[in-house]
Amino acid sequence: MGRLNGRLIYERREAGDRDAALRARDWRAIHGALPLPEQREQAARCMDCGVPFCHGGRTLSGMASGCPLGNLVPEFNDLLYRGLDQAALGRLLLTNPLPEMTGRVCPAPCEAACLCGFNQTPVTIRANEYCLAEMGFDNGWMKRIANAGERGQAAVVGSGPAGLACAIRLRQLGYSATVFERADRPGGLLTYGIPNMKLEKGIISRRVSWMEDSGVRFVLNAEVTDIDALSREYDAVALCCGAREPRALDTEGSGLDGIAFAVDYLEQAAKAVLDGARPRLDASGKDVVILGGGDTGNDCAATAIRQGCKSVTQLEIMPAPPKSRQSSNPWPEWPRVLRVDYGHEESLALFGRDPRVYEAATEAFIGDGNAVRAVRARVKGESREFPARLVLLAMGFIGAERRVTRAMGLDIDGRGRLSTRGYATNLRNVYAAGDMRRGQSLVVWAIREGVEAAEAVAAGT
C-alpha cells in the first residue's frame, strides 16, 4: 500500500490554516488544501502495515480508536497515490456516504490509530479523504442514486449527519425516503451547530441538492410529534433527532439575563450569518465566559471573537491535559494531550492569551440588576471573579429532548438515550440512530448509526 518506503521519504505535511488574526475577521473556512501532487505524496506515506488499525473502529478506554465507519483507508490511500482517483473515491464511498463532512470536521480517530503514528507522525488520512470528496464533486463522480424506491416508503426525522446518512442508505437499498426537519434549513447539527468557518454551509447545500437529485424529499419547518400518524403513512420511520437536551447548571444567579446554552447561541449565530442579520445572543463588545472546555466551547469562543467580543474566557473544571502522551495512554488509544484548537489560536492572536482556565469550578453568577456581570469560580482552591456580560453553558448534553420523547411515547434509558433493541425502538416499525440512541458523540459515529439504522429497516430487525 502506498510507496514502499514513502514514510521514510516524505514527512507529514498539511496545508495549514489561514492566519489566525486575519481569519477571525470573517466566517470563511479556516482550512486550506495542498496541491494534488503533494497530497499524493502524503498518501504515499501509507505503509503496507499488515494489520491496519486505522479502520478498526474500536472503543479503547471509552474513546474511538480507528474509523467507526470502517473506511478502507490503506486501499483508498494507495489508489490516490497511484493517480487512480475515481477508483479511490469509489473505495471511500463504499463505507462513508458523507466524506466531504468527515474530511472537514472529524477529529480523525483513524490517524490516532495509524501505525506510522506509533513512532513517527501519522498519515494525513482526513486530508486525503477531503481531497477525494472534492475531486468527486468537481469531476461529476458523485453519481446520483437512480433506483425507483420499490421496497417501500421510509420517513427520516431529523437531517443531521445521522439523518442524511440514513436517507442516502435507504435510497441505495431501494426505499423512497422523506426527511422531516423542524428547522428552516436542512443539515441539523451540521448547519446550526457547527460554525461556518469550520464547515461552510454551501457544502451542506451541495449534498442536499445531490440527495434531492437522488430522489430524497426534504420537508422543512416540520416539527414531528405525532409518530403514530407518521407510522400510518410510511412503512418505516427512522428517528435521527440528536441529543439536544443540554446540561444545565443550577447555582446562585443561574436565572439572570445574559446566561444561555451554547447550542442556542451557536444556532442563532449560524442563522444570523446565513440571513445576514445580527443575532439576539450577540457577543459584540461583551466579556464572554464559556463554561466547558470541549469542542463546543471552542466553537463558542471562535464565534464570539468573530462577533467582536471584548474578551473571551473558557472555564474548564478538569485539570489541563499533559502536553505529550503518557504511558497510561498508549497507542492506539486516542491521545489525551493538550491541543490548541482554532478558537484558542485566535484568542492568542487577538487578546494575547489562551482563553482556557483549568480546574475552575463555577460557584455563582453575579448580577448587575437582572443581568449577569461576572462569574465567580474556585480556581485551584482560590475564589476568582471573571467579568461576564454573556455566559455560555457548553457542558455537554444529557440525551434526547424530553419533550420530544414524551410526545412520541418513546422509552429512554437512565442516560436520556432512546432504549432500543439494535436500532428498533419500543414502537412498531420505528427505529432510532445517532446521538438520540447513542448519546452525544462524534459526527462519524452518527453517520455510521444512520447507515446501520437504514440497514435495520431493510432487514426488519
Q: Residue 436: in which H helix or E strand, if any?
A: helix 435-438
- Mean per-residue pLDDT for 203-224? 97
Res. 161: pLDDT tops 80 = yes
Q: How many CB atoms lie within 10 A of CB 396?
A: 15
* C-alpha separations of 229 from 7, 155, 234, 425, 453 in Å: 57, 12, 9, 16, 21
pLDDT band at 1 (very low <50, low <70, confident <90, very high): low
User: Which DSSP helix (H) or strand (E) runs through 239?
Assistant: strand 236-239
> Highest mean pLDDT range out of 47-56, 246-255, 281-290, 331-340?
281-290
Buried b (16+ CB within 10 A) or exposed e, 22-40: ebbeebebbbeebeeeebb
Q: Which amino acid is at 39?
A: Q
CA–CA separation, 169 and 137 (whole Å) = 19
DSSP string, 260-294: EEHHHHHHHHHHHHHHT---SS--TT-EEEEE--S
Of the CA atoms within 13 Å of residue 86, those in its CB half-sphere come to 6
Encode pLDDT of 28-38 as tens digits.
Answer: 999 999 999 99
What pLDDT is stored for residue 2 in this prediction? 66
| Cell numbers given for 325 | 502522551
pLDDT in tens, 291-311: 998 999 999 999 999 999 999
Q: For residue range 114-136, what is the model confidence (pLDDT) as tens digits?
A: 999 888 899 999 999 999 999 99
230/430 Cα distance (integer angstroms): 10
| pLDDT for the residue 159 | 98
Structural domains in the chain, sorted by start: 6-138 (1.10.1060.10), 152-244+399-459 (3.50.50.60), 259-393 (3.50.50.60)
Say if residue 51's pLDDT is above 80. yes
Query: CA neighbours within 13 Å on the CB side: how many for 304?
Result: 33
Query: Would you state the cell numbers that stand for residue 298, as one nine-digit string?
Result: 471552542
DSSP 241: -
Dump strand ranges (E) for 140-195: 152-157, 175-180
Which one, of 48, 13, 19, lies nearest residue 31 by Cα? Answer: 19
Percent with pLDDT over 70 in the chain = 100
Distance CA 127, CA 97 (A): 16
Task: List strands edge to edge, sheet with 430-432.
Answer: 217-219, 175-180, 152-157, 236-239, 430-432
DSSP-derived letter for residue 115 is G
Residue 343 pLDDT greater than 70, yes or no = yes
> With 80 as the cut, is the pLDDT of residue 461 above it?
no
- pTM score: 0.95
